[in-house]
Structure formats: structure tokens, C-alpha cells
Amino acid sequence: MNAIVKTLTDHPHLELFMYIKHQTHPKDKTHFRLEHQQKMISKRAAAIIEFLKGQGIDPSRVKWDFHPDKFSLPGTDVNEHIFEIRNNKKQ
């Protein structure tokens, strides 16, 4: 996260986009409840955004989503984040 903070601080025209995955244990009764998954993902996103805000990053520069296709790559964990730095500088 420190490298992301430094990059966003050094380049104020860049934005951060996060793909967040959260999966409970299969034996957990909430495992298949979509609303529970969405709630947990929202909480995780809010915590990351709050951390970045505390580091001086404007929260409006941070976007997030849950996109299952991003996690179909081999080696992705059940609770993982993928960060993309995007250049949204106007030409």
C-alpha cells in the first residue's frame, strides 16, 4: 500500500481502481448470500479508502468494484484485492 500511496501522491492526475474479492468459508451459513458478500466487500472498500484518505489521498480519486472475472487467474486468493492505477489526465 505504501507504493500505491507514493504513486498517487507523486502523480495527482492518477486514480486508483480496486477490484475487491471476499469469500467466506464454504461452511459459513452466509457463504451463498449475495447481500452478505456485497456488505463485506463494501466494508473492505471503505476501510481501504479510509486508509488512503488518512495518507492524504482524496477519496474521489479511488473507485472500486467487485468483478469476478478479475479473480479467475491462477493463484488468486479467496480474499484478494487487485489494484489498477489509471491515468485520467485530460489531454
Q: From CA 80, how far away is CA 76, in angstroms rounded?
A: 7
- On the 0-12 / 13-18 / 19+ scale of CB atoms within 10 A, 20 is buried
Asked if residue 27 has pLDDT above 70, the reply is no
- Torsion angle defined by CA atoms of residues 67, 79, 53 and 7, in that order, rounded to the nearest 10 degrees: -80
Confidence of residue 61 (pLDDT cuts 50, 70, 90): very high
Look-up: residue for cell 507514493? 6
pLDDT of residue 65: 81
Residue 52's closest CA among 12, 1, 14?
Answer: 1
Could you tell me the pTM of the whole model?
0.72
Give φ, ψ of 28 to 5 degrees. Answer: -70, 130
Which comes out higher in pLDDT, residue 79 or 40? 40
